[in-house]
Structure 1
Amino acid sequence: MSIVNLLFSAIAGKRTTIGVLELDALLTESTSLSSQITEYPVEDGTVISDHITQESERLSLSGVITSAGTLFNISLGKYKLIEAKETLRELHGRRELITIVTGLDVYEDFAIESLEIERNSDDGERLNVKAEFRKINKVTLRTEEMPPEKVDASTKGKAGQTKANAGKAATGKPTDLQKKTGDNWAWKNSRH
């Protein structure tokens, strides 16, 4: 990424963020959309496909975090790198959904699949970050009322009762009579 792009992103406020962490420069952004297509062979030797299942969206990013400040953000040198690495560790360790913002897109509800943080002797004043993310599709529970005409009269009011007396449960060892008659199924089938 050129210095002009780095300065423009700082001035225009279009910085790439991974959760709460800003990258100084985004080098690559790759979005992967894939699907599973079922295949079944039939008698004449051909294969039919009758269903497509979409897989979760994937995102790959690589970027740079430098120890230098940008035009409006004076940093503290090496402390910025230490803090950035710790922030990435925390984001990964929390296992929470995060939002990633790039110059082209906003990726919401993504989880970190892998994270690589590299520093070498050639460019020791920066961190090279490579990250893989996967979209987490949430499910919401939906409940429906059964129409009265579909409910059998003998089951009305029985399903889903709460705070109903479930009877007594015996604790401890079974009596000799229970052992002889096999009255206690759990005791009979345990390894005691």
Structure 2
Amino acid sequence: MAFLSLLFSLGSPQTMIGSVPLDALLTEDTELTANVTGYAVEDGPPVTDHITQEPERLALSGVVTAAGVLLLGAGGRSKLIQTKEALRQIHRDRLPVTIVTGMDIYADYGMSNAKIGRTNEGEKITITCEFQKIQKVSLRQADIPPAKAQGSAKGKAGQTGAKSGKTSTESAQVEPPSDLASRTGWGK
């Protein structure tokens, strides 16, 4: 199936991991997970705060060959070396990438795992990568009503004029043994 994809998909968009083109995409797995509460939930309107979504995950496996797939494209062993170096750079620089496949465009993903393998079966490398969607947030500001912002404190948090106790600089005196110790003969 991958060979047919490689052979007949010359006109369609090529699978890309950032700037790394794959000659053939073998698998594409999208994982959508959520944490669901284990506590009782009331009936009524939809309760969305009891289900928290995890970031989307993507797993890809594909092949990069030494042969040039497109006419006048780069080929040979240098293509394999460039592919491996580009994946290393994505990992090293922790760059968010956009992944383009025949099914979807995955923007703002971070690479969580990459395996690059080569065998003696030919001039090709197999790539297995896992990605996770980077969740972005934006800063929101709100105005505080003047009545709440200018409130004056009433009362005091402590007591003024209360005795705080005294400390002694003299060495502590040793207390005599208890009466029980002297009656039982202990401590002699």
TM beyond 0.5: yes
Q: Answer whether contact 2:17 2:97 (CA < 8 A) is retained.
A: yes
Could you say if the C-alpha distance between residues 73 and 2 of structure 1 is closer, same or farther in structure 2, counting changes exceeding 3 Å?
farther
Q: Distance in 1 between matches of 2:136 and 2:2?
A: 39
> How far apart are 1:67 and its partner, in Å?
0.4
Distance 1:73 1:138 in 2: 40
Task: Map 1:126-137; keep pairs closer than 5 Å.
Answer: 126-137=124-135
Residue 153 of structure 1 and its aligned partner are, at CA, apart by 4.5
Deviations 1:134-154 (A, max 9, x none): 111112111112122332254
CA distance in 2, matches of 1:133, 1:62: 12
> Counterparts of 1:100 and 1:2 in 2: how far apart (Å)?
18
Q: Point out the structure with max Rg over C-alpha.
A: 2
CA distance in 1, matches of 2:151, 2:35: 45
Q: Report how many aligned residue pairs link the two structures.
A: 147
2:2 and 2:60 map into 1 onto residues whose CA distance is: 18
How far apart in 2 are the matches of 1:81 and 1:107? 24
Q: Aligned AA for 1:10?
A: L
Identify the residue that residue 184 of structure 1 maps to in structure 2. none
Write the distance in 1 (CA, Å) between the matches of 2:31 and 2:22.
21
1:113 corresponding residue in structure 2: 112
For 1:31 and 1:73, the matched residues in 2 are separated by 33
1:185 alignment counterpart? none
Using structure 1 for the length normalisation, give the TM-score. Answer: 0.71
4+ aligned runs moved over 6 Å, structure 1: none
AA partner of residue 109 (structure 1): D
Whether the 8 Å CA contact 1:7–1:71 is kept in 2: the answer is no
Aligned to 1:139: 137
Question: What is aligned with 2:5?
Answer: 5
Report deviation, 1:7: 3.4
CA contact (8 A) 2:2 2:24 kept: no
> TM-score, normalising length from structure 2?
0.72
Aligned twin of 1:33:
32
Identify the residue that residue 96 of structure 1 maps to in structure 2: 95
* AA aligned opposite 1:141: L
Counterpart AA for 1:7: L
Task: Find the aligned partners of 1:11 and 1:4 in 2 and give their Cα distance.
Answer: 13
Please give the alpha-carbon distance, in whole angstroms, between the structure 2 residues aligned to 1:71 and 1:84: 16
For 1:5, the aligned partner's letter is: S
Matched residues in 2 for 1:118 and 1:151: separation? 62
CA RMSD between the two structures: 1.9
Could you report, residue by residue, the CA deviation over 1:89-145 in whole angstroms, capped at 9, with x for unpaired residues? 00111112111110010111110010000001123x001000000111112111112
Decide whether the 8 Å contact of 1:10 with 1:72 is kept in 2. no
Preserved contact between residue 2 and residue 25 of structure 2 (Cα < 8 Å) = no
SS in 2 for 1:11: coil
Tell me which residue corresponds to 1:78.
77
| CA distance, structure 2, for counterparts of residue 146 and residue 77 of structure 1 | 64
